Structure 1
């Protein structure tokens, strides 16, 4: 194999990290199916129509972001934007959760998932940045 300054392992690690973060963002998309699914996801009764609309729309937006992250895993030209979007999503949620506190066990699961996503974003982002600097 000729050395081109591009490590296949680093390429695949970047892809894998974006895939994991994308899948984490796709999981809440099931909330679009209705209030019962939202209640199971977040441990909250969604018995007010306006809240149901907002939470179902949130599920759609997470689905779109998740699809973009997965798509960007295979499109190197979109990866920088994907990392920025992923960091914005994960860090904003973690900041809100930690600054508010007092969340239920279902939200705790979301916090844990976002900590996993953050680790993947940091690892993948560092490898991506290193690869960009090497090119």
Structure 2
């Protein structure tokens, strides 16, 4: 039964890293917007908005990673990550976006499946305290 806990932790670390990595990369190096989102020469206003979005993604990713070792954080981490990814998928496919953003939306769909898998795995019961 211990293997399920390890698989769950690995999934949460992988999901959180995937969510947060792009966020950190764009927040620190805004030039990555072309690679990540297919946006050439963004205006200063768009750059600020996307960097802010990137910081939010990095925070969501960090919470998901931390929840791998802090089970009480898992419900919150799952909801926040699921809402973030689902909203991007709906916005992306609802408005028609460029190929780079379609790749991000597809990656989010894969991460949503991984998140559902991690959610379906039962948490390990805590050992009873010794009297």
Same fold (TM over 0.5): yes
Contact 2:89 2:106 in 1 (8 A): no
Match of 1:53 in 2: 48
Match of 1:43 in 2: 38
Contact 1:20 1:120 in 2 (8 A): no
Cα displacement string for residues 31-61 of structure 1 (whole angstroms, at most 9, x for unaligned residues) = 1134321122111124311111111111111
> Are positions 1:114 and 2:95 aligned together?
no
Paired with 1:46 and 1:119, the residues of 2 have a C-alpha distance of 33
Spell out structure 1 runs of 4+ moving beyond 2 A.
Answer: none
Match of 2:129 in 1: none
Runs (5+) with no aligned partner, structure 2: 127-131
- The CA RMSD over aligned residues, in Å, is 1.8
Number of equivalent positions: 125
Matches within 5 A, 1:12-51: 12-28=6-22, 29-51=24-46
SS at match of 1:74: coil
Paired with 2:52 and 2:41, the residues of 1 have a C-alpha distance of 13
> Are positions 1:8 and 2:13 aligned together?
no
Runs (5+) with no aligned partner, structure 1: 1-6
